[in-house]
């Protein structure tokens, strides 16, 4: 792999390279697949890979060990799969390497690493696990068997097959195909991709034009783009090459968050490989089409997800949006026609070219075609990336795939669409998730974050959280967003601090109208969504805070108190030891609850002095006897 890749000069070269890679590979060879990716590595998947590799080498057997991107089931990571048997191992530790190699050699599963379902049955294979069963992994499936830094893997899996097809087509025909497929932008607004491409194609004839990949995935709680770019970077490049050819661009950019170091690294490696193979550069595969891509790292600004702000920062300026009365498709980067799509959108393109628009359009709903990757996070049993056809019910995603709420708690809301979206309650769970349905319900698709909240989540605090986020992320250019959102935060802070006033809800609603309509860009133009959607569905929680000075979910610090439940207190002093402010102290009374069946006359019942208590929750976390009450 260190050797420079030989340049492919035509379509036939690509075909024969693919054939020779496949010939060298034994489809039946036992392969141990270790799922990496950022969250895998946070749990030592790299150490697991090293340990397994070392053992495999010692065995000198026909074992291939492969390190791939994220497999989506984050909750159960690190994941290891043994192919071709398909054994699916979860929550693997480096010390499990021995058992895994033994299992690969013997062909028998390592029982203790298998997934156990609710009924206690051991499950052998991935597709039998409830989390995976209802998914349709059009884009994410490649993550499972592809080493992101191996272009051979990508080619072996049929990668870059869309290029010979697309480059032999008329560019207009590609735009047509994408139009017939009904592909809509996966980054937020759900704009028709082909319509954008068409505009860029026709704008400023003869001028330079650009394609840009938006990998500045800013919605907190959404990380599907990271997973695609770090797990399968070539699929994004392939989509961009097709798109660039379709609109007549010779230069492309990937604008990626600097918070995703692995994605940056893998995308850079992929670019280098694609250049060496001649899949980027001059005269791609002998087609006469020139195209190359530059990677730019973002500086950490949510507003740069907005097209004009992103382009300003690509020009080396601050990420300040401008009015879009003239679209970026006509005048974008350096005032040239520019086609900006996000990672997931680009990754869909090769599939449409390969399998045709009819096939693509057969997946999904009338208005939203294809699949969508959601990141299912928060108070949910199965945290992970979920790829389902558009139109699946929220309930199916959260309960069938996500396994419901942990610790027997009750579902309260699901937040969709990131800071621009809204919170949907139980009554909306049968909604069929697509671009239009979510918007109708007062939220939006956004990039596909689904943050599940349970009964312990305060919805006013959630609105406050998003509003604080948006206040900090506002670029500060226009008045409604800079001043308006900040003052919304001021009101929400008052409410959560128990200083809410009659009329606050109405004032928030009044401000929202102006901020929606009069803000310069979409950040401000959607900023009131979290507040309005929580007012719409959880008005009673606002009223409890304002009128009764009570936080029903017991989250807002100024509205809760900590106390000791006398009959449960054993006098163990755990609370005293951890209390940072000496608020948890012993009383004169003897503790009555026993420790291991015995009461000790020396142990005193404890109390919490409210004046000193800073509500850090440490006593609650450390009390083993349920003796701390939060009210």
Partner 1 sequence: MSKVTITIDGKKVQAEAEESLLDICRREFIPVPTLCDHHDLKPYGVCRLCIVEWDRGDWSKIVTSCNFPVKDGQVFKTNSDKVLRQRRMIMELTLARSSHTPEIIDVAKRIGVEVDKVRFPKKDEGCTLCGMCIRACSEVVEANAISFAGRGPTRKISSPFFDEAGDCIGCGSCSYICPTNYIKMEEDENYRTFPEWKVKFEMAHCKKCGQKIAPKKQLEFIRKKANLPADWFDVCINCRP
Partner 2 sequence: MDLSKVEQIVKNHDTNPGQLIGILQDVQTEFRYLPKHPLEKVAELLNVPLSQVFSVATFFRAFSLEPRGKHEVSVCMGTACHVRGARRVLEEIERELDVPAGKTTKDKEVTLETVNCLGACALGPIVVVDGEYHGHMTSTKLKTILPGKKAHNVKKD
- List of residues contacting partner 1 (CB under 8 A): 301, 318, 322-323, 325-326, 471-480, 482-484, 486-487, 490, 507, 510-511, 513-514, 517-520
> How far is it, in rounded angstroms, from Cα 431 to Cα 438?
8
Q: Which is nearer to partner 2, 259 or 499 (by Cβ)?
A: 259
> How far is it, in rounded angstroms, from Cα 35 to Cα 33?
6
Q: Are 554 and 609 in contact (CB under 8 A)?
A: no
Positions in the binding site for partner 2 (CB under 8 A): 38-39, 41-43, 74-75, 77, 217-223, 226-227, 258-260, 296-302, 313-319, 375, 377-379, 383-384, 415, 418, 449, 451, 453, 457, 462, 465-466, 469, 473, 475, 578, 580, 614, 616-618, 621-622
Which pairs from 330-333 meet CB under 8 Å and 24+ separation? 330/199, 330/200, 330/203, 330/204, 331/203, 331/204, 332/210, 332/212, 332/307, 332/308, 333/210, 333/212, 333/253
Q: How far is CA 98 from the centre of its chain?
A: 33
Q: Which is nearer to partner 2, 314 or 605 (by Cβ)?
A: 314
> How far is it, in rounded angstroms, from Cα 338 to Cα 340?
6
Q: Which is nearer to partner 1, 102 or 326 (by Cβ)?
A: 326
Provide the minimum distance between the beta carbon of 251 and partner 2 in the complex, in angstroms, as a whole number.
11
Per-residue tokens: 371? 């699949």
Q: Which is nearer to partner 1, 155 or 309 (by Cβ)?
A: 309
Residue 462 interacts, among partner 1, partner 2, none and using kind-specific CB cut-offs from 5 to 8 Å, with: partner 2
Residue 297 interacts, among partner 1, partner 2, none and using kind-specific CB cut-offs from 5 to 8 Å, with: partner 2
Residue 75 interacts, among partner 2, partner 1, none and using kind-specific CB cut-offs from 5 to 8 Å, with: partner 2
Residue 259 interacts, among partner 1, partner 2, none and using kind-specific CB cut-offs from 5 to 8 Å, with: partner 2
DSSP-assigned letters across all residues of 213-278? EEE---STT--HHHHHHHH-HHHHHHHHHHHHHHHT-SEEEEEE-TT-HHHHHHHHHHHHHHHHTT
Nearest one of 57, 61, 252, 70 to 146, comparing CA atoms: 70
Q: Which is nearer to partner 2, 153 or 473 (by Cβ)?
A: 473
Residue 357 interacts, among partner 1, partner 2, none and using kind-specific CB cut-offs from 5 to 8 Å, with: none
Residue 322 interacts, among partner 2, partner 1, none and using kind-specific CB cut-offs from 5 to 8 Å, with: partner 1
Nearest one of 386, 351, 526 to 71, comparing CA atoms: 386
Per-residue tokens: 264? 């940056």
What distances in angstroms separate CA 363 from CA 25, 419, 433, 573, one per listed residue? 33, 28, 13, 60
Q: Which is nearer to partner 2, 8 or 478 (by Cβ)?
A: 478
Residue 117 interacts, among partner 2, partner 1, none and using kind-specific CB cut-offs from 5 to 8 Å, with: none
Provide the minimum distance between the beta carbon of 301 and partner 2 in the complex, in angstroms, as a whole number.
5
Per-residue tokens: 347? 């990754």
Q: Which is nearer to partner 1, 24 or 315 (by Cβ)?
A: 315
Q: Which is nearer to partner 2, 75 or 103 (by Cβ)?
A: 75
Provide the minimum distance between the beta carbon of 515 and partner 1 in the complex, in angstroms, as a whole number.
8
> How far is it, in rounded angstroms, from Cα 113 to Cα 82?
12
Residue 621 interacts, among partner 1, partner 2, none and using kind-specific CB cut-offs from 5 to 8 Å, with: partner 2
Provide the minimum distance between the beta carbon of 223 and partner 2 in the complex, in angstroms, as a whole number.
3
Q: Are 388 and 401 in contact (CB under 8 A)?
A: yes
């Amino acid at each position: 792999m260190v050797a420079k890749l030989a340049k492919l000069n035509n379509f036939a070269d690509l075909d024969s390279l693919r054939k020779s890679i496949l010939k060298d590979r034994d489809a039946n060879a036992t392969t141990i697949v270790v799922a990496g990716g950022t969250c895998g590595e946070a749990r030592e998947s790299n150490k697991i890979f090293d340990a397994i590799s070392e053992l495999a080498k010692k065995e000198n057997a026909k074992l291939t060990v492969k390190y791939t991107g994220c497999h989506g089931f984050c909750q159960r990571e690190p994941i290891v799969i043994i192919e071709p048997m398909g054994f699916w191992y979860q929550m693997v530790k480096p010390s499990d390497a021995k058992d895994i190699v033994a299992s690969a050699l013997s062909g028998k599963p390592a029982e203790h690493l298998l997934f156990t379902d609710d009924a206690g049955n051991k499950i052998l294979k991935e597709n039998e696990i409830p989390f995976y069963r209802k998914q349709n992994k059009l884009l994410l499936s490649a993550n499972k068997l592809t080493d992101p830094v191996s272009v051979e893997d990508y080619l072996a899996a049929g990668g870059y097959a869309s290029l010979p097809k697309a480059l032999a087509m008329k560019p207009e025909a590609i735009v047509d195909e994408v139009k017939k497929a009904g592909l809509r932008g996966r980054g937020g607004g759900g704009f028709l991709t082909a319509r954008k491409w068409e505009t860029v194609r026709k704008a400023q004839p003869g001028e330079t034009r650009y394609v840009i990949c938006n990998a500045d995935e800013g919605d907190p709680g959404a990380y599907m783009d990271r997973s695609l770019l770090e797990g399968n970077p070539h699929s994004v490049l392939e989509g961009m090459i097709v798109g660039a050819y379709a609109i007549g661009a010779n230069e492309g950019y990937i604008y990626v968050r600097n918070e995703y170091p692995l994605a940056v690294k893998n995308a850079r490696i992929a670019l280098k490989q694609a250049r060496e193979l001649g899949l980027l550069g001059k005269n791609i595969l002998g087609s006469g089409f020139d195209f190359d891509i530059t990677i730019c790292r973002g500086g950490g600004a949510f507003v740069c997800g907005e097209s004009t702000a992103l382009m300003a920062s690509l020009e080396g300026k601050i990420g300040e949006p401008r009015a879009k009365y003239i679209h970026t498709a006509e005048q974008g980067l350096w005032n040239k026609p520019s086609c900006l799509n996000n990672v997931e959108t680009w990754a869909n393109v090769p599939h449409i070219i390969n399998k045709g628009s009819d096939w693509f359009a057969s997946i999904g709903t009338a208005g939203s075609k294809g699949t969508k990757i959601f990141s299912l996070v928060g108070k949910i049993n199965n945290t992970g990336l979920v790829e389902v056809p558009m139109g699946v019910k929220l309930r199916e995603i959260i309960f069938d795939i996500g396994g419901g709420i942990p610790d027997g708690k009750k579902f309260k809301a699901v937040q969709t669409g990131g800071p621009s979206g809204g919170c949907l309650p139980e009554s909306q769970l049968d909604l069929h998730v697509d671009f239009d349905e979510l918007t109708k319900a007062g939220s939006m698709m956004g990039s596909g974050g689904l943050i599940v909240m349970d009964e312990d989540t305060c919805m006013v605090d959630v609105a406050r959280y998003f509003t604080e986020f948006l206040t900090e992320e506002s670029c500060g250019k226009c008045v409604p967003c800079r001043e308006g959102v900040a003052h919304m935060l001021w009101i929400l802070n008052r409410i959560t601090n128990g200083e809410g006033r009659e009329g606050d809800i109405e004032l928030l609603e009044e401000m929202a109208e102006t901020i929606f309509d009069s803000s310069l860009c979409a950040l401000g133009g959607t900023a009131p969504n979290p507040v309005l959607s929580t007012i719409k569905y959880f008005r009673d929680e606002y009223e409890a805070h304002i009128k009764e000075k009570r936080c029903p979910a017991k989250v807002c610090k100024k509205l809760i108190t900590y106390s000791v439940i006398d009959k449960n207190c054993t006098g163990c002093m755990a609370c005293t030891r951890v209390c940072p402010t000496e608020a948890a102290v012993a009383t004169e009374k003897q503790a009555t609850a026993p420790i291991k069946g015995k009461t000790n006359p020396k142990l005193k019942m404890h109390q919490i002095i409210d004046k000193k208590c800073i509500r850090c929750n440490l006593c609650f976390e450390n009390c083993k006897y349920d003796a701390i009450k939060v009210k």
